[in-house]
Structure 1
Amino acid sequence: MYLHIVLMAPHAPIKPELASTLDHAFIRIRQECPGIERFEWVPNLSRSSARYSHALLSVFRSQEALDAYRESDAHQAMLEAITPHIQDIVVLDSVLEESLS
């Protein structure tokens, strides 16, 4: 399993219409990108990194599945929708040991 987390710092609070757009983008990604075990948009509840208010939390079956997702049209569509709203991101990619999944 392969863990992919993207912490996002928006320019302004996330508006409901962007959340709706992301919901549709995530549905498309799940339909078009094989090898996804988990893929969700979550709020960051940490008080110590409030600037990064949301995260994309995803688990892929393999590095190859993550690479295919990154190159997909569905991923590009999601990036086009969210990039204008995001000031900064932090990405974590790591092997997820079976005992942690």
Structure 2
Amino acid sequence: MFLHVVMMQLDNQVDGSFFEQVQAFVERVKSECDGLIMFHFGQNEADRAGGYQYVTSAIFVDAAAHDSYQISPAHTAMKAFMTPHIKDVVAYDGNVSDGLLITEVFTNSNVL
């Protein structure tokens, strides 16, 4: 599996309609991108977030599915809509063990 996490600092021009449109893009990504296991956009609730208030997280079956997502019309449209409002971004991309997410992260409190 392949994990993709993007943490964002957004400008103060975003409002409810911005987030409604982002959610519409989330649904579009879910319906159009093959090899997607999970896709989510939401508020970063960590008190150690360092100003990165929002996050997109995704799990793909493999790196190739992630690469296809990156150039998909759904992702490029979402990115074009959001980019003018992104002040800073930090991303993580990497392969993870198939069992890690289910058996270790959710059952082993030492992982978090």
| TM-score (norm: length of structure 2) | 0.84
- Structure 1 residue runs of 5 or longer lacking an equivalent are none
Instruction: Tell me the residue number matched to 1:27.
Output: 27
Instruction: Tell me the residue number matched to 1:5.
Output: 5
- CA-atom RMSD, angstroms? 1.3
Aligned equivalents of 1:42, 1:86: Cα separation in 2:
14
Confirm or deny: 8 A CA contact 2:5 2:93 kept in the other structure.
Answer: yes
Instruction: Tell me the residue number matched to 1:76.
Output: 76
Instruction: Tell me the residue number matched to 1:48.
Output: 48
Instruction: Tell me the residue number matched to 2:93.
Output: 93
**Higher Cα Rg, which structure:** 2
Structure with more relative contact order (C-alpha pairs < 8 Å, separation 6 or more) = 1
Aligned equivalents of 2:13, 2:98: Cα separation in 1:
36
For 1:12, what is the secondary structure of its paired residue? coil
Number of corresponding residues: 101
1:42-62 C-alpha deviation (Å, 9 max, x unpaired): 211122224100100100001
| TM-score (norm: length of structure 1) | 0.93
- Structure 2 residue runs of 5 or longer lacking an equivalent are 102-112
